[in-house]
């Protein structure tokens, strides 16, 4: 499921153009504690609608890797292993740190990466609680417990969903002017639907014009026929 979501996110990421000028240099230091990376090539790849650009590359040596170079805009890219996408990250001015562990993969140290991955951390925690509660409901159903207990579990699931939506909307409200907010919107809009989901409509209805004019967001609203007016 996670791989499927990542593949869809890659497609969405291809529609997002570079944003926000920030001329300077980037540096990325990575630590790998996962089997199968030693000596393998890692690369930074930007996926655009009709073009794939390989920005930088290096090899993992003794569980570490490093990339650095010039950057004149904040760009959403993917760290790839042998051309296979692993995780998204932002190339931007500053020093970013990547950790590839068996239990998690994170990027930190620069503003957009800190924003994006702090959001992901919160959402994953809520998603895990939902999954645990959902499995509990399935288990209770199979054991034939009374419907009242199952209904209580269902109420708890609805509370978790509401909590997740409030967290998302709060993040967006605080960061509409940040590239990370567009990345989050891309991730949320990956599932293909025939109409704008209520959560995305809520985000769009509250968004400033600058956010709505971003390349990916503008393309999404036109494609879906969304009109705030």
**Per-residue pLDDT reduced to its tens digit, 22-62:** 458 999 999 999 999 999 999 999 987 678 899 999 999 99
Spatial separation of the C-alpha atoms in residues 68 and 52, rounded to whole Å: 19
| 40 lies in some domain | yes
Spatial separation of the C-alpha atoms in residues 104 and 5, rounded to whole Å: 16
| 98 lies in some domain | yes
pLDDT in tens, 67-118: 999 998 898 999 999 888 999 999 999 999 999 999 999 999 999 999 999 9
| 229 lies in some domain | no
Q: Are residues 48 and 97 in the same domain?
A: yes
Could you tell me the CATH number of the domain that includes residue 95? Answer: 2.60.40
pLDDT of residue 83: 81
Spatial separation of the C-alpha atoms in residues 217 and 167, rounded to whole Å: 20
Q: Are residues 26 and 84 in the same domain?
A: yes
Residue 19 has pLDDT above 50, yes or no: no
Q: Are residues 145 and 97 in the same domain?
A: no
């Amino acid at each position: 499921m996670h791989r499927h979501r990542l593949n869809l996110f890659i497609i969405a990421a291809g529609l997002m153009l570079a944003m926000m000028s920030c001329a300077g240099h980037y540096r990325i230091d990575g630590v790998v504690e996962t089997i199968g990376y030693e000596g393998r090539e890692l690369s930074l790849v930007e996926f655009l609608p009709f073009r794939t650009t390989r920005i930088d590359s290096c090899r993992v040596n003794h569980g570490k890797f490093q990339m650095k170079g010039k950057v004149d805009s904040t760009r959403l890219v993917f760290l790839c292993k042998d051309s296979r996408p692993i995780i998204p990250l932002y190339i931007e001015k500053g020093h970013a740190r990547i950790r590839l562990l068996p239990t998690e993969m994170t990027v930190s140290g620069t503003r957009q990466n800190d924003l994006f991955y702090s959001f992901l951390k919160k959402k994953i925690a809520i998603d895990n609680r939902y999954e645990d509660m959902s499995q509990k409901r399935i288990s209770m159903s199979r054991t034939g417990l009374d419907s009242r207990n199952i209904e209580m579990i269902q109420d708890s699931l609805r509370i978790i969903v509401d909590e997740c939506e409030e967290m998302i909307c709060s993040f967006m409200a605080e960061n509409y002017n940040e590239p990370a907010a567009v990345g989050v919107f891309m991730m949320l809009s990956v599932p293909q639907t025939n109409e704008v989901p209520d959560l995305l409509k809520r985000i769009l209805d509250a968004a400033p014009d600058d956010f709505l004019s971003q390349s990916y967001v503008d393309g999404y609203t036109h494609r879906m026929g969304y009109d705030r007016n």
